[in-house]
Chains A and B, each alone.
Chain A
Amino acid sequence: MLLIRCPYCEEDRPELEFRHAGEAHLVRPSNMDAMSDAEFERFLFIRQNPKGVVFERWRHVHGCARFFNAARDTITDKFVTTYKAGEPKPTLEGAEE
């Protein structure tokens, strides 16, 4: 089980308190009526799925219930860092843009 640091509660808590919520930094487009099918596909379905550092959303559903972002290595499952929603993507070595 993962030990996850909630950036709002500022505590390391067990994974059972959290819900994984998919890839982070996917910005919901504001011009949906003008979007092509290919752009919708990219937004809805295409995922980086990196072998290495992934930027992902988590929700502390059985705690403060807030969404936050994390950088985690998908080979070791170790968290590099967690940070609050809305904060910019941290620059990390080895992470994909």
Chain B
Amino acid sequence: MRKFSAFAIAREALRGHKGWGVQWASPEPRSEYDVIIIGAGGHGLATAYYLAKEHGITNVAVLEKGWLGGGNTGRNTTIIRSNYLYDESAGIYDHALKLWDGLSQDLNYNVMYSARGVMMLAHNVHDVQVLQRHIHANRLNGVDNEWLTPEQAKDYCPPLNISGQTRYPVIGATLQRRGGTARHDAVAWGYARAASDRGVHIIQNCEVTGTRRAPQGHIIGVDTSKGFIGAKKVGVVAAGHTSVLMEMADVRMPLESYPLQAMVSEPVKPVFPCVVMSNTVHAYISQSDKGELVIGAGTDQYTSYSQAGGLHIINHTVDAICEMFPMFRRMKMLRSWGGIVDVTPDRSPILAKTPVQGLYVNCGWGTGGFKATPGSGHVFAHTIARDEPHRINAPFTLERFRTGRLIDEAAAAAVAH
């Protein structure tokens, strides 16, 4: 793999950019691997990368039904933050946030992580109390988060309407300055390139159709559209399709899959300096480096695998955006799309061993998995390599729904689920 550098750019500029080459190999699958990861999204590719980098396990394949990064990795609003309420959540999301800082250098690939600040608006007394509780909880966990008056919020984000004439006036806000955005595709591509460089096989257009187990019960491989592939360990990192894949191994999951939509506007010059989220009116917005406004909606109410949701959800979201930011009322929306998010009963992820020996699962990231990509891959690689969870993901078990030790961000996440 050719390293990206200022020198390489200058050299290629002189040679007509003919020397770049492919960024990752597309090999035929071997008959057996030490580890198979199902799902080449950000989390799966990050897992493979950290398996190779941190644990020296390079006989790894990442199997992808479609194309690399074509699922929720390419379908989110790229928001990164770690201001969650509970200790367990703060632990894993802040672990990820620390890895975002420096990820471009680590991967030698510009993931365009931009710590431009994530602001969350309070519109009523309840919001104020909940958000201030978050600030205090975050501070105890060493996670930065601060309170802003409406005027301070407008200073930080000038397009914000704090006039008091709106249906839900802004009466305060929190700001996590280390929060921000990254380029979603670049995250998948960067991890794929770096993993491939360390010997990981990335096999696209290879759908897993079944799992095979030895008579003693442990996993021995997977059936795919390219035939049987043996494996000592299998990690399922398949987001919305986790229930379907785990069913193949006779493991029933506490998951439901919902459509979650997002949209982008026509590109305009830089007008929007940060990320703004509102729990109460339920919309979130930022501006990509390409200039598009990136706007997120809530999930549809019904379960679905259709990667499409109802237009009324988008309408509702755009209404909220236009009220908070009147200057966007005449913007044209270019595209909208849906992803399928796997939601757990407590809205916290599952990164854990399963009842099947050699089968591991990383799922349940629901509506907010992108921000956790590096941290999730890092601790999940540890879980697979050592056959025991990292201290950070130890609470995120599958058994917690039996023991009752839930991590109940459902009622506590800074954005409604």
Contact = CB atoms under 8 A, between A and B. Distances in A.
Interface of A: 1-2, 15-16, 19-20, 22, 37-38, 40-42, 44-51, 54, 56, 72, 74-77
Contact of B302 (A38, A48, A56, A75): A56
Interface stretch (B82-90, B223-231, B253-261, B382-390): B253-261
A41 B345 CA distance: 11
Contacts of B241: 51
Contact of B253 (A19, A44, A49, A77): A49
B335 interface: no
Interface stretch (B73-81, B139-147, B279-287, B303-311): B303-311
B401 interface: yes
Interface of B: 241, 243-244, 252-257, 301-306, 308, 310-312, 345, 401-404
Nearest to B242: A49
B295 to A, nearest CB: 19
A72 B253 contact: no
Contacts of B244: 49-51
A8 to B, nearest CB: 19
A48 B404 CA distance: 20
Most buried by B among A37, A38, A51: A51
Contact of B254 (A15, A16, A22, A45): A45
A41 B404 CA distance: 9
Most buried by A among B257, B303, B304, B306: B303
Which are the 7 A-B pairs with shortest beta-carbon distances?
Answer: A45-B254, A49-B243, A20-B301, A41-B402, A45-B401, A1-B310, A20-B302
Contact of B345 (A40, A45, A72, A75): A45
Contacts of A74: 257, 303-306
B401 A44 contact: yes
A41 B402 CA distance: 5
B254 A38 contact: no
A82 B316 CA distance: 27
Given A37-B403, A51-B241, A56-B302, A2 B310 contact: yes
Given A37-B403, A51-B241, A77 B256 contact: no
A1 B311 contact: yes
Contacts of B306: 74-77
Contacts of A49: 243-244, 253, 255-257, 303
Nearest to B406: A45
A36 to B, nearest CB: 9
8 contacts: A37-B402, A45-B401, A46-B254, A47-B253, A49-B244, A51-B305, A74-B305, A77-B306
Given A44-B345, A45-B345, A72-B302, 14 more contacts: A1-B311, A2-B310, A15-B310, A15-B312, A19-B301, A42-B252, A46-B401, A47-B243, A47-B253, A47-B254, A49-B253, A49-B257, A49-B303, A77-B302
A56 to B, nearest CB: 7
Nearest to A1: B310
A40 B400 CA distance: 12
Contact of A1 (B243, B254, B312): B312
B302 A2 contact: yes
B311 A41 contact: no
A67 to B, nearest CB: 15
Nearest to B244: A51
A10 B234 CA distance: 49
Contact of A46 (B253, B257, B302, B304): B253
A34 B255 CA distance: 26
A56 B303 contact: yes
Nearest to A22: B256
B72 to A, nearest CB: 16
A47 B254 CA distance: 6
Contacts of B404: 37
A47 to B, nearest CB: 5
A16 B302 CA distance: 12
Contacts of B305: 51, 74-75
